Structure 1
Amino acid sequence: MIPQRKLSLLSNRLARKGGRRVPEAVLERDYCLSWFLVGLSKTPLIDILAFKGGTAIKKCYIPDYRFSEDLDFTLRESVPFEKIQAYLALAFENVEKDSGIKIRISRFDQNVLGLTDLPDSGL
């Protein structure tokens, strides 16, 4: 992955710049998340997922925003779950080919609640 020395130097540089030291594990996670986003961008998911949340803010709009631990997406159109899994496998292959980082899924969280599925408030 990233040599420990480089992580320490980066962490120290960020501390001098922002007054707060970022743990090396957080920097390494951010590095991996960045590579995953690169791999994802080379799949059809780029057109059907909306990237949102803290990592999206940091990566797309405010580089000095807080570090985040996860990636949040919303489907922009209906896609079978199996197809999403296949596209993710392709993204993982891209990451390994481009960076040498091997990614595996430890957990899938699915939130299926949509505007048409909201419970009746009784109003």
Structure 2
Amino acid sequence: MAGSTVVMKLVCLLVVAMVTAAPLAEAALTCGQVSTGIRPCIDYLKKGGAIPDACCNGIRSLNSAAKTTVDRKSVCNCLKSAAGSIKGINLSLAAALPGKCGVSVPYKISPSTDCNNVQ
């Protein structure tokens, strides 16, 4: 009886460990999160001028959240898609934005970027 209780506790512990580990293995950032992060940048990317603080805060937040290669590729693909789908965006401003916000991004934000090469 005591042996089966120990086995049940171990099985429960294993199930809990698997449930908590699964989301961590698939922790890629979503395009919704990327969209929210760059939303304050859209007017700047269309018209230029002063970069809103909320824009740089969003860029910095995305950069710090993209901790894994999967996350960085996901963000790259979302940014690539946004750069190609939002009408009126100045791609030169988009490419320079991370640097102007003090963030180093190892790829160009452009519809032609190959996100498979992002590390």
Give the TM-score normalised by structure 1. 0.31
Which protein is bigger by CA-based radius of gyration?
2
- Structure with more of its chain in helix, by fraction: 2
